[in-house]
Amino acid sequence: MKGRDLTPPQTVGPFFHGLLREGLNMLVAPKTLGDRIRIEGHVYDGNRTPVSDAMIEIWQANARGHYSHPADQRVASLDPAFAGFGRTGTDEAGHYWFETIRPGRVPFGKSGDQAPHLNVAVSARGLLHHLFTRLYFDDEAAANARDPVLRGIPEDRRSTMVAKKIIADGKTVYRLDIVLQGQDETVFFDL
């Protein structure tokens, strides 16, 4: 008997259940500084079928543009009520959501500030490595046009990283669908 007959073929994962604890998609507390927003969307595969078992992680600067990380040595003050990291899984419809704050602008070396954005990591069945992208805000057109990272993306692909603003039940919501491959695939960074 050959070795390939001993082990059935399988996709990678999902192994996220132990990583997904309730409340990790709520980045805000009553004392968190900044404008509260909701981020939501769906994760789709290349056939536009919802991915029901993906894990989405975000990390972001606080409202003043400061990361809660030792490498961020700037004098901008930290917000003790905001850690800047969240994690959630998708539901059966591939839907995800986060309650957070609108991030401030973050410096980019000596070339100016980056537009407000969230860093996003996606893990899903069949992926050997996390996929990394960013979420920008459609109502920051001027800042987006100057953002050094977004400017490095072909213009016709930038929209895959820009969340659309809507007002729902009096709250600000930004929607961004993540497409893992195929037509309208989200731009992912090779990190």
pLDDT 10s digits, 60-83: 999 999 887 766 666 567 888 998
Residue at 47 is within a domain: yes
Residue 21 pLDDT grade (very low, low, confident, very high; cuts 50, 70, 90):
low
The whole-angstrom separation of Cα 171 and Cα 159 is 23
Query: Where would I find the beta strands (DSSP E) of the chain?
Result: 36-44, 55-59, 85-89, 95-101, 106-107, 113-114, 117-123, 131-137, 162-168, 171-175, 178-179
Above 60 in pLDDT, residue 92?
yes
The whole-angstrom separation of Cα 89 and Cα 70 is 28
- Contacts (Cβ under 8 Å, ≥6 apart) of 189: 132, 133, 134
Q: Which amino acid does the sequence have at 14?
A: P
Closest of 22, 42, 35, 51 to residue 171, by C-alpha: 35
Residue 168 pLDDT grade (very low, low, confident, very high; cuts 50, 70, 90):
very high
3-state DSSP: the chain helix, strand, coil percent, rounded to 5? 10, 30, 60
Residue at 1 is within a domain: no
Q: What is the pLDDT of residue 94?
A: 96
Neighbours of 86 (CB within 10 A): 22
Residue at 186 is within a domain: no
Average confidence (pLDDT) over 165-169: 96
* Average pLDDT value for the chain: 87
Above 70 in pLDDT, residue 14?
no
Residue at token pair 């491959």: 181
Residue at 188 is within a domain: no
Instruction: Give me the number of domains the chain comprises.
Output: 1
Residue 12 pLDDT grade (very low, low, confident, very high; cuts 50, 70, 90):
very low
65 backbone dihedrals φ, ψ, rounded to 5°? 80, 25
Token code pair at residue 106: 């973050």
Residue at 32 is within a domain: yes
Q: What is the pLDDT of residue 7?
A: 43
Residue at 126 is within a domain: yes
Q: What is the pLDDT of residue 127?
A: 81
Residue at 184 is within a domain: no
- Kindly report the pTM of this predicted structure: 0.86
Above 90 in pLDDT, residue 125?
no
* 3-state SS class at 145: helix
Please give the residue range of the domain that contains residue 96: 10-179
- Contacts (Cβ under 8 Å, ≥6 apart) of 117: 60, 103, 106, 134, 135, 136, 137, 147, 149
CATH of the domain at 130: 2.60.130.10
Above 60 in pLDDT, residue 31?
yes
Residue at token pair 């919802």: 50
Closest of 146, 131, 116, 120 to residue 45, by C-alpha: 131
Residue at 171 is within a domain: yes
Q: What is the pLDDT of residue 67?
A: 86
Average confidence (pLDDT) over 94-105: 96
pLDDT in tens, 135-154: 999 999 999 999 999 999 99
